[in-house]
Amino acid sequence: MARSADVDTSRIAAFLVFADLPAAELDELAGAMSEVQIEGGAKVITLDDYGTAIYFIEQGEADVLTDGGEGTQVLGPGDTFGEIALLLTGQRTATVVARTPMRLLSLSGQDFERIRARVPELERSLRRLGFERAGR
């Protein structure tokens, strides 16, 4: 996993989960995110691991695998994963494996906690997504 800094606000504004965020929250979020490059075939997150970040897919595809190793979903550009562990349960609820090389934007739990008070709409939006997925 190669990481780099400097995420421009325009890159995150394209994600549906951020559609309702005020400009000030987008700026705050952009300053806290980093870019992550993933090789095809690599595990991005593993079931039952402690969740330390939320990921937003800019490029590439990944498979979501259940505890039996079965693929349940394919994620692609614009999709988000990792929010359930970070906001709701503390543990990963699935394994995500890159199908192709991927470019992700990442928000670490530490950075989320640091900006949390200044991004209330972000937290609401991510919680809503997490509850929807956890209910499936």
Residues for the chain: how many in total? Answer: 136
Q: H-helix or E-strand containing 71?
A: strand 71-75
- What's the pLDDT score for residue 88? 74
Q: What is the pLDDT along the chain (136 residues), one digit of tens a residue?
A: 555 556 888 888 888 888 888 888 888 888 999 999 999 999 998 888 888 899 999 999 999 997 777 777 899 999 988 887 777 777 787 899 999 999 999 999 899 889 888 888 888 888 888 778 776 6
- Interatomic CA distance for residues 31 and 35, integer angstroms: 11
| Residue appearing with tokens 């739990």 | 109
Q: Residue written as tokens 């952009």?
A: 30
pLDDT for the residue numbered 1: 54
Q: What is the pLDDT of residue 60?
A: 97
Q: What is the domain range of residue 80?
A: 2-134
Tell me the CATH number at 117.
2.60.120.10
25, 118 Cβ separation under 8 angstroms: yes
Does pTM top 0.85 for this prediction? yes
Q: What confidence score (pLDDT) does residue 6 get?
A: 67
Provide the number of structural domains found in the chain: 1
Query: CA–CA separation, 13 vs 3, rounded Å?
Result: 20
Contact 55, 98 (CB under 8 A): no
The answer to whether 52 and 67 have CB atoms below 8 angstroms apart is: no
